Amino acid sequence: MTAPREAFARFGFCPDALRWLDDLWNAIQVLDDVADGDPINRADLDRAIFALLVDMPDNQFFVKNRLTLLPALAAMVLKWKAADDAERGGRADARSFTWRAGFYDVVLMVNLLHFGPTSAMLGAEEVLAMYGEKFTDYQGEFPCRTLAQG
């Protein structure tokens, strides 16, 4: 999947918002690899550590909007955990598939904070449609079980 800097540049987010989304995207990819036991490139790990501990908390878009972004981040993490638990427990279904897209809930908040409610409502479908994983691909990750549609 394309990193947010390229994918979301067309929305016209300010450089700080783009950088924060890019750092978030890259950090959660590394953390998901850790959770799954997948190999991690050392440069990616170093980048994620620095982003999480230094760059992201100091990012001026985040600093200005942290009271809104922190609950969105918390929801993203909880949704990821719910999806991961369902998948590891053999309960993956159409619902757990949608939970994996919590990052885009954060992007919706960035869009709202950046442009206001009228514009954010007009662009909400476009933001959410950027989720690149297809349900059929998700189903293929669990070949021993046919996933329910919901």
Considering only CA atoms, which of 11, 10, 5, 3 is closest in space to residue 120? 11
Rounded to two decimals, the pTM is 0.89
Query: pLDDT-derived band of residue 4, with 50, 70 and 90 as boundaries?
Result: low
Considering only CA atoms, which of 67, 89, 68 is closest in space to residue 81? 89
**Taking a C-beta distance cutoff of 8 angstroms, is the pair 63, 19 a contact?**
no
**CA distance linking residue 37 with residue 19, whole number of Å:** 27
Q: Which residues contact 95 (CB under 8 A, 6 or more apart)?
A: 86, 150
Is residue 150's pLDDT more than 70? Answer: no
pLDDT at 139: 87
Model pLDDT for residues 61-106, shown as the tens digit of each residue: 999 999 999 999 999 999 999 999 999 999 999 999 999 999 999 9
Query: pLDDT-derived band of residue 132, with 50, 70 and 90 as boundaries?
Result: confident
Per the prediction, the chain carries an average pLDDT of 91
pLDDT at 103: 95
Backbone φ and ψ for 13, nearest 5 degrees, come out as -65, 150
Average pLDDT of 9-18? 92
**CA distance linking residue 68 with residue 115, whole number of Å:** 14
Tokens of 63: 């600093």
